[in-house]
Chain A
Amino acid sequence: MKRYDAVIIGAGHNGLTNAAYLAKAGLDVMVVEKNDYIGGAAVTREMHEGWFYSSCSYVCSMMRQAIHRDLDLAKHGLLLVPYLGTVAFGDRGETLIEYTDEEASYNELKKHSPHDADAMHRFQADLGRYAQLIRKTLLRTPPDPSSFKPRDIKELLWLAKEFYALGERELYEYVRFFTMSAAEFLEDYFENDLVKAAMASPGIIGTALGVYSPGSAYVLLHHVMGDVDGNVGAWGLARGGMGAISNALCSAMKAHGGELRTGSGVQQILVKGGKAVGVALENGDEIYADIVVSNLDARRTFTKVMDKNDLPDGIYERAENFKIRGSSGKVNIALSGMPKFNNVPDNPYINRGGQGFVGSLETMERAYDCWKRGTWSDDPFIESVIPSAWDPTVAPAGKHWMSNFIQYCPPKLADGEWTPEKRDAFGQTVIDKIERFSPGFKDLIVHMEVRTPHEIENEIGLTEGNIFQGELTIDQLLFNRPFPGYGQYRMPVKNMYMCGSSTHPGGGVSSACGANAAREILLDLKRPNTVPEDDCYDE
């Protein structure tokens, strides 16, 4: 039987990135995916005839440009289109429009609060400064702070230098920032409730924290540190949906000779004499390889597809305690026409970027309270985008699909497991809320796919449906991700690595985790590094 140089478990976008780089370096690689389709949380699926949903992730900003360029993803069919014009809706239906044009956006903010219009510049500059530092770490392997290896010391010094370059005052501010809540952070800048709510929304997306929970400020930063063509904080859509990213990566991987096998998941990572030697599939097949790379989250990797006895002491427990709480739902809706929203000018540009049904900090917090109690709010936070307004390939001409991301949705309910009835009731609260801002909205609905953490976990194996493959809190970031001591993609079993979002720099469609892991593998194999290291160039 054929023996591979490396087998990658999971064809999520990070697994595919990892495999593409290993294949590009000349390794014989095989990717095994449990589903019949690839992409994990970066996937496009035709769920209703003519409608192609980005079932999970829906917008793109973290994708590393250097990888896009280096793997020639444009040739493999990937086109990222930046979007513009976003509307935030307050509790009473009032709107805050973010225009493409800076002057227009300033005038709009000024209508809400002259103070906030002015403070926005300072807010953007401060956030930009924080983002810049994080951005530089994305395509770098975090140093191990307890190691005396020259490479780690060099990397620690680099990190220290970057931090000190902020200046003393900013350094303190930055350290404080990591433990702050989004609300606290924003209070320092803004007075208007809707402005605060709109700016806070990236702080709760995907996290089991509330706007007032310490740590949510970092989550906010995590969502604005990406860029489209160097415009930091901008978001775009992948033409053909998020699956186009995974498909392009897969095509690049195959062009370099990599192989893919779908339809049967890994049951168990095979370990012999303390070394990973391959995988056993659910269908009984075994695939042998010198290196095993897991694209699964840390909890799943160590507690589901590994034998506890193959692991050094304490690892199983760490994986059990890995913070990976599900908190988000997704409702994908096929529409027979473009919805119209109250208090929004009827022109073709506004509403294309998206709708944030943000309400207020209080509404967000109340929704979080429901999550803590194991239920969902009837006034949830919803972030919506209508990708078909941008992309002629995802819905029939003149028809639309709307992606709705909901915060919060519990992985387990106080009154027992999720059932299809409860799932649909959750979906109903979402469309009820949208209808409040868009009378007639429900009449446009042609098809609806409601996804709770339960569906997300069952389909793509994100434990509890946590979108980041593990909470983005300081104890699980940088060299602490997934666990302290294992921040460099090498895992406690020899020849075994991790490459998914459970590793640095965390969740989001970035390809960074997969690329960084490939770099470490090539280093261990004493092969030249072919993985790009710097994405922000000399910004």
Chain B
Amino acid sequence: MTNEPAMSADPFQGERPRHTHFHERQAALNVREAWSAWNGFRFADYYYDPEYEYFCIRNFCGTYDICPMQKYYISGPDAAAMLDRMVTRDIKKLNVNRVTYCVWCTDEGRIVDDGTIFRISEDTYMLTCGSPSVSWLRKSAIGFDDVTITDMTDEIAGLSLQGPTSYSTLKAMGLEGLETLKPFGIMRFPFNGVELMVSRTGFTGDLGYELWIDPSQALAMWDALYAAGKDFGIHPYGETATDMARLEAGFIMPDMELSESLKTIHFEHDQSPFELNLGWLVDFKKPHFNGRRALLEERERGPKWTLVKLDIPGNKVAEGAIMYDTEDCDNEIGYVTSAMWSPSVKANIALAMIKTPALKGDIWAEIYYQKELRYYRKMALCEVKDKPFWMPARTRQTPPEVYS
């Protein structure tokens, strides 16, 4: 037994979440020790104050660790054809150095996951998504001879930089030419002997970028970024602030609006793109793709459910509310998926799944709220909104506004 390697001093080693490439810096800044986990990585809920961090996204800029997000290289002469067959959007239209948001479905037209595809060279694509997808990608590659799938999750350090001063921060970091980068574009810059890839993408509805770099330079990039952003209010933000910002922007969140089809037990408790109001991502002009036939049928008869954006009177957050067609709760017509008080718009907002036919009538939310331990119930007549609650012009403006 003496030849056995010594057991780790920490008996919980195997249970502790892994650290991301930016952990060292982020741990130092997590004054509140507010951690959760994502895909096996330790991940911040918030660092100091969730609302403060939310306002960094709307007022200054903030960084969000996207190392735990899954990243795959799909490369080779058949890469485009394989992706085109897998996702509902037309990937052949995606030019080099452009990014597109998409969903992919089962044969039944139910969503497996959503994510973004980066065309990083002629026949190399990077797919990023919330959940590990190796097995689905391999299945999707069956029948394509010349395509290679590589899990790059650990090989690329990703950091999202979002907020109105994000552009000024990156300029101060010395990224020449960034002013021409349009939304969903990609640019590359030399950094410490490696390549720093910058895409104008994000999940906040605000001006923002995502930075992709070799892990060896992750901390150096962090330091350079934070030095440049010092006068522009740079601050890390976690899951709580992200969730607030994305809801204001009307973006769906896995496990809130989306129950991944492959992980769903109950019949049709997963969603189709039409149900999530993502019909614009489905391109029937292209030939066969996963779920095409089912989706065509669904388009004909209309989705059973529809995700809507709601403006709710009062300030009682409708979290978990059940929706009815009348104030007296005659018929149940749906449920709230996410809800919050929006500090920027000063409105009580929510996303809700409503049975499509019921959209013609009134939508009442049955809201429970608490006041000094006592529970109260109220009914609120909701208003359906077409536009995102928050999507300022600066999100798309090129070149972006300069702070100096």
On A, residues with C-beta under 8 Å from B are 65, 68-69, 73-74, 79-82, 84, 100-101, 228-230, 239, 348-349, 390-393, 396-398, 537-539
Contact = CB atoms under 8 A, between A and B. Distances in A.
Contacts of B347: 69
B168 A397 contact: yes
Interface in B32-55: 32, 48-49, 51-52, 55
B55 A82 contact: yes
Nearest to B314: A537
B138 interface: no
A392 B316 contact: no
B2 interface: no
By Cβ-Cβ distance, the 6 closest A-B pairs, closest first, are: A397-B231, A398-B231, A69-B346, A537-B314, A68-B346, A74-B345
Contact of B403 (A80, A81, A393, A537): A393
Contact of B378 (A65, A239, A538): A538
B52 A100 contact: yes
B231 to A, nearest CB: 4
Contacts of B378: 538
A65 B346 contact: yes
Nearest to A82: B51
A239 B59 contact: yes
Contact of B165 (A73, A229, A392, A539): A392
Given A82-B55, A391-B59, A100 B346 contact: no
A84 B59 contact: no
Interface residues of B, number: 32
Most B CB atoms within 10 A — which of A81, A239, A393, A398? A81
B192 interface: no
B164 interface: yes
Contact of A538 (B32, B48, B58, B314): B314
Contacts of A69: 345-347
Given A392-B233, A537-B316, A100 B403 contact: no
B59 to A, nearest CB: 5
A349 B48 contact: yes
Contacts of B277: none
Interface string B223-251: 00000001111010000000000000000
Interface in B349-404: 371, 376, 378, 390, 403-404
A73 B342 CA distance: 13
Contacts of B165: 392
Nearest to A338: B231
Contacts of A73: 346
B300 to A, nearest CB: 38
A100 B235 CA distance: 16
A339 to B, nearest CB: 15
B119 to A, nearest CB: 34
B314 A390 contact: no
Nearest to B372: A125
B58 A79 contact: yes
Most B CB atoms within 10 A — which of A79, A228, A539? A79
Contacts of A229: 341, 343, 346
Contacts of A537: 314-316
13 contacts: A65-B315, A65-B346, A79-B58, A82-B55, A229-B341, A229-B346, A349-B48, A349-B52, A391-B59, A393-B403, A398-B231, A537-B315, A538-B314
A53 to B, nearest CB: 18
Contacts of B371: 539
A396 B346 contact: no
Contact of B404 (A82, A84, A228, A396): A396
Nearest to B376: A538
B344 A74 contact: yes
A101 B32 contact: yes
Nearest to A72: B345
Nearest to B58: A79
Contacts of A101: 32, 49
A229 B230 CA distance: 28
Contacts of A391: 59
Given A100-B52, A101-B32, A537-B315, 6 more contacts: A69-B346, A81-B58, A229-B346, A392-B164, A392-B233, A538-B316
B64 interface: no
B60 interface: yes
A413 B387 CA distance: 57
A80 B344 CA distance: 7
Contacts of A397: 168, 231-232, 403-404
